[in-house]
Chain A
Amino acid sequence: MSAPDPDPASIPLLFPDPVIEFYMKKVDRTAIRERLKMTAGERLEALQRQVDAQAAEKMVSVKEEPPPWPKKKGAIDMGADPAWFAEAKAVPLLVADPVVEAYLEDVDRGLIRQACRLSVSERFERFHRLMQGAYALRRACEKSDA
């Protein structure tokens, strides 16, 4: 009768590290063993099935609802010089990319122009106030949920 196989968990790490050891306690060894029995192609198929299942789950959990406000008809006119808008839009992108160009259509240039008129310090003061408001809102939500 042959000797029983050693417990793989008892094999010393290549680089002993308490942090890695901590994470290793959480590793699902059964799943790893199952995967090791598969061919590379079967592993990829299993991974694809897992990704598809996660995507399907996400689709179910995310319910698309129309926003409560009326749909925006077009870019907000900030009352700025339209010639300047055209001039800015004519500046070629640093890296030409149709995806970025598509996103660029929805960028609120008025807001950027206003922020550019501020000093760097003023931009950060506004950002700080914005974050304080966001944090206060989040605290209020957490309090109401509790």
Chain B
Amino acid sequence: MKAETDFPLVLRTLAEAKIDFIAIGAIAAIAQGIILTTEDVDVVYARSPENFERIVAALGPFKPYLRGAPPGLPFQLDEHALRNGLNFTFETSIGNIDLLGEVSGGGTFEQLKPFAETKTAFGVEFLSVSLEKLILLKRAAGRPKDFELVARLEAARQEKIASAKKKRPDHD
């Protein structure tokens, strides 16, 4: 059976461990008003030794493994592995988590942070990339499958600007 991601638990785990991260990808798109399906949580994480420690302590119990890698690979999530790598796509017992040290068009956690907004979901507060930055990130990714999502994000942006002009209270 394919892995199922427990999205509330993943976000709670990352937030409660005080991991410095910014949600990007589908999670950020949902925060901005696009309802879509996704199988994973994509985040850009801070590459500091303290954050490495928090990531290892928080995700270690959920047996992270490199997604798509053949079974039996001698991989262990520890600070050494995080320091020597950059972008990781993990499958864990609570679902798929992509930890990105750098992202095309956005750079590192520190470079992306000025474009992040605090959002609340499932009772958890976390940073999520702004709508405009998300459009730019998806464009920079340059994958054909992203064009459809870019169009939906652009439409959401147009709707928000139009509603702000009308000062409609029921839109954020």
Q: A-B pairs with the 8 shortest C-beta distances? A: A103-B151, A124-B121, A88-B162, A91-B158, A116-B33, A107-B155, A88-B158, A115-B33
Cβ A123 vs Cβ B30 within 8 A: yes
Cβ B156 vs Cβ A116 within 8 A: yes
Kindly state whether residue B34 has any CB partner on chain A within 8 Å.
yes
List chain B residues, Cβ under 8 A from A101. 151
Residues of A within 8 A of B (CB-CB), count:
44
In the complex, per-residue mask of B141-158: 1 if CB is within 8 Å of any chain A CB, else 0: 000000110111011111
**How extensive is the interface on chain B, given as a class?**
35 or more
Other A-B pairs, 8, CB within 8 Å; known A107-B151, A120-B119, A134-B37:
A18-B74, A87-B166, A100-B150, A112-B33, A127-B37, A128-B7, A131-B37, A142-B2
Kindly state whether residue A44 has any CB partner on chain B within 8 Å.
no
Give the interface SS of chain A, mostly helix, strand, loop or mixed: helix
List chain A residues, Cβ under 8 A from B172. 116, 119-120
In the complex, per-residue mask of A68-108: 1 if CB is within 8 Å of any chain B CB, else 0: 00000000000000001001110101110101110110110
List chain B residues, Cβ under 8 A from A10. none
Q: Which of A105-146 contact B (CB under 8 A)?
A: 106-107, 109, 111-113, 115-121, 123-128, 130-131, 134-135, 138-139, 142
A142 to B119, CA, bound (A): 35
Cβ A123 vs Cβ B159 within 8 A: no
Nearest residue in B to A81 (C-beta to C-beta)?
B166
Cβ B162 vs Cβ A127 within 8 A: no
Nearest residue in A to B132 (C-beta to C-beta)?
A94
